[in-house]
Amino acid sequence: MGSRKAREREMLDSVCSMIALVFFLVTCVELCDAATVVDVYRLIQYDISGAPFGSRLAKLNHHAGSLHFPPGADLSRTVLMIPVRDLNITFLQDYIAQRQPLGGLLFLLPQMFSFENKDDMRSNHQNQGNDLLKNVVAELEQLLIHANVPYPVYFAFEDDDIDAVLADVKRTDAIGQPATATTGGFKLVVSAPEPKKLISPIITNIQGWLPGLKTDGDASQLPTIAIVASYDTFGAAPALSVGSDSNGSGIVALLEIARLFSLLYSNPKTRGRYNLLFGLTSGGPYNYNGTQKWLRSFDQRLRESIDYAICLNSIGSWDNELWIHVSKPAENVYIKQIFEDFSNVAEGLGFKVGLKHKKINISNPRVAWEHEQFSRLRVTAATLSELFTAPELLESTGGLVDSRHFVNETAIIRSVKLVAESLARHIYGYQGNNIQIFADGGSLAVNPSYIQSWLDFLSRTPRVAPFLSKNDPLVMALKKELEDHTHEVNVQNEVLDGMFTFYDLTKARLAIYQVASVTFDLLLLLVLGSYLIVLFSFLVITTRGLDDLISIFRRPPSRKVKTA
């Protein structure tokens, strides 16, 4: 009897071990099913005065599909993988406008738009094909940021792994077998919490001074010239909005101008009788909200001392002409003087500067250019830009297409020379086209290496203001750089205007799983079940005999209840 129980125990242990082994193997197979894991960048989610824009969801757990889906297909549980090279913008406009059901969108961007890709960084801007692709991405971005998209939208960059997945998805869609729970395929999964509102986002302004030289017994306040550039960006994907041109080029130019004049002002013999005020402002895409708060922090005396302000915006991808945008008419004596200084210098440097006048509508809260915030406070100001017309709200603010590949540091160098020489002529009273204070080869020459290094750094650094803390490394780096070239550097922290509301979660990890069909699962279950039954029967027969196996499946005789 004891040996029989021992054999039964051994048999049971063997069966349990085999079952555990089978489940372990199945588990290992499931864990190895992930085809690839990639970084993805979420479409921005924000509100303007309570109106929702951008993507309103973040979680993703649906099968992958392509633009080759059959007509009439149900896409409510499908994530469309769309290379922007193949994008049909009309289809997307109609789909979003009609709010048709969709599991999500995954846009695949060429590597040329990645700030981590350094290949051909300085030559791609000359390629006509890349320029056409840039226009497509710009149109896509404007569509997405001005729409209310009721499903998750992500961006990723093309690579070998994700291209292989897309090729497989296209192949199955083309033969009329899109991925479903029945047919299998690829599943895209982003495990993310629900996005939360950013409470009281901070915008940070940074300013530095180069004080002018007063003569003995001169108690009057020196006039001031302000050089200003907004440093933050806005785009469809905040984690990718580096804004190399808008307004990385303006930041770099301001820092180089500060460096050049710090050399001049370090010697009392060459220090001008003008104060120079350098301002790096935030909130540029949001009606230059930071500039407004910065100016209102000035006392009346300081504002009245400003002779004029030059705002630098998008000066890194032009060829032969820049534009000076003003709010006062060209006949104004101050505007006329500024334009003449800039125009004369530009002529000597071999290009043109045009003048564009746009009157301010005080009743309209929309601010198209940074100088308009100065003009509203009756301070003479102008914006220097390669843009001929004022951009619309949240347009040309450093989005997906504004990468290092499309910016030419030579254009920034020429812009720096233009501004620096024009300021010097005004400060020192020089007239004539043959005078160059910042001539190449001299001790005051523009430094191309300095410009290139800062441009490369800014082209790797997303700068969407609501996602920058007041102690962000970027803010600290800009502050330190101004401290190296100017005096009395201080930082002003303000709360962004309440009409804008932003939500967190800008970046995530996307897992792509290759899943089997239900048919395969059922077949696997049948095989495993048959195997376990055969194994169990074999063990029972070898340890207890055939009769015991038969008795297991034999119905026991019914017991009749005896009645009295």
Alpha helices of 146-191 — where are they, by DSSP H? 160-174
- For tokens 């609501």, name the residue: 466
- Pair type for strands 321-326 and 381-385: antiparallel
Q: How many domains does the chain divide into? A: 3
The tokens for 116 are: 């981590």
For residues 64 and 73, give the distance between their C-alpha atoms in angstroms, rounded to a whole number: 13
Q: Quick one: 208 and 333 in the same domain?
A: yes
∠ CA 395-202-191 to the nearest 5 degrees? 75
Whether residue 109 contacts residue 140, with contact meaning beta carbons closer than 8 Å, is answered with no
Where is 514: in which H helix or E strand? strand 507-515
Length of the chain: 564
For residues 394 and 368, give the distance between their C-alpha atoms in angstroms, rounded to a whole number: 10
Within-domain flag for 58: yes
pLDDT tens series, the chain, 564 aa? 555 555 555 555 555 555 555 554 444 444 445 568 999 999 999 999 999 999 999 999 999 999 988 788 888 999 999 999 999 899 899 889 888 899 999 999 999 898 876 554 444 444 556 888 999 999 999 999 999 999 999 999 999 999 999 999 998 888 776 656 555 689 999 999 999 999 999 999 999 999 999 876 665 689 999 999 999 999 999 999 999 999 999 999 999 999 999 999 999 999 999 999 999 999 999 999 999 999 999 999 999 999 999 999 999 999 999 999 999 999 999 999 999 999 999 999 999 999 999 999 888 889 999 999 999 999 999 999 999 999 999 999 999 999 998 999 999 999 999 999 999 999 998 876 577 899 999 899 999 999 999 999 999 999 999 999 999 999 999 999 999 999 999 999 999 988 999 999 999 999 999 886 555 556 667 777 777 777 766 666 777 666 665 666 666 665 555 544
The helix, strand and coil proportions of the chain, stated in percent and rounded to the nearest 5, come to 40, 20, 40
Q: Quick one: 123 and 218 in the same domain?
A: no
For residues 203 and 222, give the distance between their C-alpha atoms in angstroms, rounded to a whole number: 30
Within-domain flag for 17: no
How many CB atoms are closer than 10 A to CB 286?
A: 23
Q: Quick one: 394 and 415 in the same domain?
A: yes
Q: Quick one: 184 and 279 in the same domain?
A: no
What's 401's domain CATH number?
3.40.630.10
Within-domain flag for 161: yes
For residues 102 and 194, give the distance between their C-alpha atoms in angstroms, rounded to a whole number: 18
Instruction: Give 250's Cβ-side CA count (13 Å radius).
Output: 30
Within-domain flag for 9: no
Q: Quick one: 134 and 218 in the same domain?
A: no
For residues 330 and 336, give the distance between their C-alpha atoms in angstroms, rounded to a whole number: 6
Give the residue among 117, 120, 116, 108 at the shortest CA–CA distance from 161: 108
In SS3 terms, 456-497 reads as HHHCCCCCEHHHCCCCCHHHHHHHHHHHHHCEEEEEEEEECC
Q: Quick one: 42 and 177 in the same domain?
A: yes
Q: Quick one: 511 and 555 in the same domain?
A: no
Sheet holding 45-48, edge to edge: 148-149, 51-55, 45-48, 500-502
- Pair type for strands 153-157 and 60-65: unpaired
Within-domain flag for 310: yes
Q: Quick one: 214 and 311 in the same domain?
A: yes
Q: Quick one: 73 and 87 in the same domain?
A: yes
Q: Which domain does 489 fall in, by range?
A: 202-495
Sequential DSSP letters for 216-254: TT--SPPPEEEEEEE--B--SSGGG---TTTTHHHHHHH
Where is 321: in which H helix or E strand? strand 321-326
**Which region holds residue 338: left if phi is over 0, alpha if psi is between -120 and 50, else beta?**
alpha
Within-domain flag for 67: yes
**SS3 call for 433:** coil
Whether residue 64 contacts residue 89, with contact meaning beta carbons closer than 8 Å, is answered with no
**SS3 call for 390:** coil
Q: Quick one: 433 and 546 in the same domain?
A: no
Q: What value does the CA radius of gyration of the chain take, rounded to a whole number of Å?
A: 34
Q: Quick one: 165 and 227 in the same domain?
A: no
Q: Quick one: 162 and 249 in the same domain?
A: no
Within-domain flag for 2: no
Within-domain flag for 5: no
For residues 106 and 82, give the distance between their C-alpha atoms in angstroms, rounded to a whole number: 6
Residues pairing with 52 in the sheet: 47
The tokens for 26 are: 């199945």
